[in-house]
Amino acid sequence: MGLFPLVAWSQTLPLVTAKQGGGGTIYAVPVETVLALTALSFLPAALVLMTSFTRILIVFSLLRQALGLTTMPPNIVLIGLSFFLTLFIMNPVFDSIYKNAYQPYSAGKMGFPQAVEVGAKPLKEFMLKQTRRDDLNLFAKLYGKEIEAREDVPFTVLIPAFAISEIKTGFLIGFVIYLPFLVIDFAVASILTSLGMVMVSPMMFSLPLKLIVFALADGWALLSTSLVQSYIN
């Protein structure tokens, strides 16, 4: 429940209310229900642009290319693994939103606007921590408003700045991952050239070599752990 406060909240909202008027029945949808359904429609975009999902998926995709694989693991596997690692990383943020915003709102101790404001704070803190200042200043300049304190950054500035920072970080991590596999490719190509086997594709030897090295090093576990720790620490 703590991972999906918005979904849990929407399940408690009445979809339709009926009112008697002029001898007939008027059906109305509560404003909270409309807002909840609208927010749920933006969940895929929020997952990509406001969480760790983008960085993780970029790193896994570049890793697959560095290994010399095109379709293995399949995209659905990489997306699924990225999704659940994202839930693991974002769990403290979601729990904070659930406890500090959803529970008081559902108990009638807090109004809807206040619940949205309180719930946005932990998410904003997470995003600010991972956003480069240069990217933040760039979009603040494009926004046309000088922002003195980082806490005052609106989401219209923070979301694109955070997304750009995550893409940059993902590419940098991917570059570091590429290096050892490039060394293996160059070594295999050099050995084949020195043996006069210029007609043999280096990929025939480098691919299984990279796979066994990565498997013996427990690469998936090491990379997943490093990605999670890059956010937690």
- How confident is the model at residue 30, as a pLDDT? 60
Of residues 46 and 23, more confidently modeled: 46
pLDDT of residue 36: 67
Contacts of 103 (CB under 8 A, 6+ apart): none
Phi, psi of 50 (to 5 degrees): -125, 10
Q: How far apart are CA 28 and CA 206, in angstroms?
A: 65
Terminus-to-terminus CA distance in the chain, angstroms? 25
Give the global pTM. 0.73
pLDDT at residue 28 above 60?
no
pLDDT above 90: residue 35: no
pLDDT at 202: 67
Interval 130-139 mean pLDDT: 85
- Cβ neighbours, 10 Å, residue 147: 17
pLDDT band for position 124 (50/70/90)?
A: confident
DSSP β-bridge partners for residue 73 = none
DSSP for residue 224: H
Average pLDDT, the chain: 78
- Asked if 185 contacts 202 with a C-beta cutoff of 8 angstroms, the reply is yes
| Beta strands 24-28 and 17-21, pairing class | antiparallel
As a whole number of angstroms, the distance between CA 144 and CA 39 comes to: 27
pLDDT classification of 34: cutoffs 50, 70, 90: low
pLDDT surpasses 70 at 18: no
What is the distance between the alpha carbons of residues 53 and 104, in angstroms, rounded to a whole number?
29
In this prediction, residue 32 carries a pLDDT of: 60
CA distance 216 to 228: 21
